[in-house]
Structure 1
Amino acid sequence: MYMEIIKKTNELIRKLISDDDLEYMQDILIQLKIYHQITDILTYILLVTLIVFLLLFFISLIFGVSVFIVLLSTLPVMLFINYLVYKKQKRLDSIEEDLPDYLLQVASLLNAGMALESSFDEISKNMDGYLNDEIKRALIEIRMGKTFNDAFMDIADRCDSYNLNKAIQIIINTKESGGNLSEILIVMADDIKQTQLLKRNKKTSVMMSVMFLLVSAIIATPFSFATIQIYTIFLESVGKTNSLIDVIPIASNGYIIIHSLLVSILIAIVMESNYKKCIKWIVIILPSSMAVFYFSKMLIGTILGI
């Protein structure tokens, strides 16, 4: 019966999601070195989410806990998204870290008289990592008939790295114009190393501010609103009415969500200098703050006997 449920769910996912979308998602998993079928992963996430949803829903009915706790049923999805974001960032960091040394080795082989494509092929045999995997894939595509320019521009599209994209464009332009590519690669590698050093120094200098924002968003704010809500309920239980008792739960959830979004944007701007990268912080901060909020409510309520 268990295998039959998985099979039926798998078939449902294939009907709901087009083959092109599944192929695109599968390619992303392969890039992140997650060698599992995307349909199997989506099947297990869907089933686990459904089970968690039913458990939390019945708990909320039996123990009278706010039905907002059902939102926690999305935790499996959030955890998987967090994992993918972490893997993608790790992949990008690895590519950025390996790029200067890769360019220097290509420049060294070019100075020794080797052709450009042969230089990449020779280096790919002795290197490892995400960047080398992309180079190997491009070389295979070239042997299968794709042009050098198209194969390497596809690397830039898949990796979403500014430095890599810039390096590939310079390599292609210099190759077509006949310039001295080895000298350009050496200068570029040195420039990328200097940029990486500046970024590391910047992250170190702002780390305390980021930690303050994280503590505020994940612990302080949710705990404060949980305390306010339980205190309001406690006052009502001893006969002191409060006209805000119906508004406080909605206001608390709304403020926590808005605060989490704003903190995520601020951290993205401070750490990455790009507000668009706030998504990787949102999927961490928002579920964590909501979990702390409801856990704090249950803990304080239990202590006060409410």
Structure 2
Amino acid sequence: MENKIMDMISNFVKISISEDKLNIIQNNLITIGFYVEIESLISWVILFSFVIFLLSLIVIFIFGYSVLILILSLLPSILSLIYFLYKFEQRNDKLDEELPDFLRQLSSLLKVGLGLESALNELSEHNTNTPLNNEIRRIMLEIQFGKSFDKALLDCGDRNNVDNLKHVIQIIIYSKKSGGNLADILEDIADDLSEIILLKKERRANVMMSVMFLIISSVVATPFALGMIRLYSDFIGYLGRTNSLISVIPIASCGYIVIHSILVSVLLGIILYSNIKRGIRYIFVIMPASLIVYYLSQLIFKSVLGLSGLS
């Protein structure tokens, strides 16, 4: 029975998502060391979402919060997305940190007389199993299968969202064509990258208190306060003291939480990475967490205060 259900969902995934997109996602999973068939992974996420959707219906039947259907049923997808974004970010940071030492090793091998391809092959065979060395091994394999050296390097830069790596690849290709002293150039780049990485770490350490304040404010303080306002307005309405603002408060509270989550995510991107686009990913974490705190705070206090009769 379970296999039939999974086969049905898997077929639905193959029909709904193009083969090219599935292959791209599959390659991205492989790069972070997650060796699972993409159709099976998406099928399991959909199945868990459906199960949580059914459980949400029970919660809604008891407490009467219909918005929780959407939030809780999307929870498996959101958690999966958060996990993979974290793994990608962790891998990219590791690539960035490994790059200066790798360039110094490559420069040393070039200075003793090895060619560029031979030096890369030497490093790929004797270095440890790290993300950057795995990428170099993949480059050497692609060259062995007939891809040109420049094309293999450019493909490595395209599939890894690391700006420093892309710049280094472009410099290597340009220096190789122009006949420049690549060993000295790589050593200078390694020194510059080490200073940049050190400055990034110092900046993150200096702004961490501000980041924690923004996250706590967005995920805990603001949703909790709005949840209490919503509970108070429901209580006033329950007593028969009608007010035109009571019907507006739930919509206004949710709207404020959504807008606040987006703004905080953008600020995190600017503070941590000086890049607004990299902050957008935090929306998928902060917004669901804020909405869950908003509704759970009302459920908990209604149960504690014995106000479960409020709609």
Q: Do both proteins adopt the same fold according to a TM-score greater than 0.5, normalized to the shorter chain?
A: yes
Residues 217-267 of structure 1: per-residue CA shift (max 9 Å, x gap): 000000000000001111222332222221111111111011000000001
What residue is the counterpart of 1:71 in the other structure? 70
CA drift at 1:193? 0.2
What residue is the counterpart of 1:47 in the other structure? 47
What residue is the counterpart of 1:236 in the other structure? 237
Quick check: 2:63–2:299 contact (8 Å CA) kept in 1?
Answer: no
What residue is the counterpart of 1:28 in the other structure? 28
Listed as ranges, the matches of 1:74-89 within 5 Å are 74-89=74-89
Q: Hey, what's the Cα distance between the residues in 2 that align with 1:105 and 1:282?
A: 40
What residue is the counterpart of 2:13 in the other structure? 13
Residues 56-84 of structure 1: per-residue CA shift (max 9 Å, x gap): 12321x21422011122101000000001
Which amino acid in 1 is paired with 2:137? K
Q: Hey, what's the Cα distance between the residues in 1 that align with 2:221 and 2:176?
A: 56
Q: Hey, what's the Cα distance between the residues in 2 that align with 1:22 and 1:29?
A: 11
Which range is displaced more, 282-291 or 192-201? 282-291
Which amino acid in 2 is paired with 1:59? V
CA drift at 1:44? 0.3
Q: Hey, what's the Cα distance between the residues in 2 that align with 1:64 and 1:144?
A: 61
Structure 1 residues 242 and 303, CA gap change in structure 2 (3 angstroms): farther
Unaligned runs of 5+ in 2: none
Q: Hey, what's the Cα distance between the residues in 1 that align with 2:156 and 2:14?
A: 28
What residue is the counterpart of 1:136 in the other structure? 137
Q: Hey, what's the Cα distance between the residues in 2 that align with 1:301 and 1:245?
A: 17
Residues 15-43 of structure 1: per-residue CA shift (max 9 Å, x gap): 11121111111001001110000000000
Alignment pair present for 1:290 and 2:291: yes
What residue is the counterpart of 1:252 in the other structure? 253
Query: Secondary structure at 1:263's aligned position in 2?
Result: helix
Q: Hey, what's the Cα distance between the residues in 2 that align with 1:13 and 1:207?
A: 40
Q: Hey, what's the Cα distance between the residues in 2 that align with 1:31 and 1:261?
A: 29
CA drift at 1:300? 1.2
Q: Hey, what's the Cα distance between the residues in 1 that align with 2:228 and 2:65?
A: 15
Listed as ranges, the matches of 1:96-115 within 5 Å are 96-115=96-115
What's the TM-score, normalizing by structure 1? 0.98
Query: Secondary structure at 2:126's aligned position in 1?
Result: coil
What residue is the counterpart of 2:94 in the other structure? 94
Same amino acid, percent of matched pairs: 42
Which range is displaced more, 27-36 or 122-131? 122-131
Residues 186-234 of structure 1: per-residue CA shift (max 9 Å, x gap): 0000000000011111111111111111011000000000000001111
Q: Hey, what's the Cα distance between the residues in 2 that align with 1:162 and 1:2?
A: 44
Which range is displaced more, 260-269 or 129-138? 129-138
Aligned length: 305
What's the TM-score, normalizing by structure 2? 0.96
Q: Hey, what's the Cα distance between the residues in 1 that align with 2:178 and 2:143?
A: 21
Query: Secondary structure at 2:64's aligned position in 1?
Result: coil
CA drift at 1:3? 1.2
What residue is the counterpart of 1:192 in the other structure? 193
CA drift at 1:274? 0.2
Query: Secondary structure at 1:240's aligned position in 2?
Result: coil
Q: Hey, what's the Cα distance between the residues in 1 that align with 2:124 and 2:294?
A: 50
Query: Secondary structure at 1:125's aligned position in 2?
Result: helix
Unaligned runs of 5+ in 1: none
Which range is displaced more, 74-83 or 120-129? 120-129
Q: Hey, what's the Cα distance between the residues in 2 that align with 1:305 and 1:237?
A: 13
Q: Hey, what's the Cα distance between the residues in 1 that align with 2:221 and 2:227?
A: 10
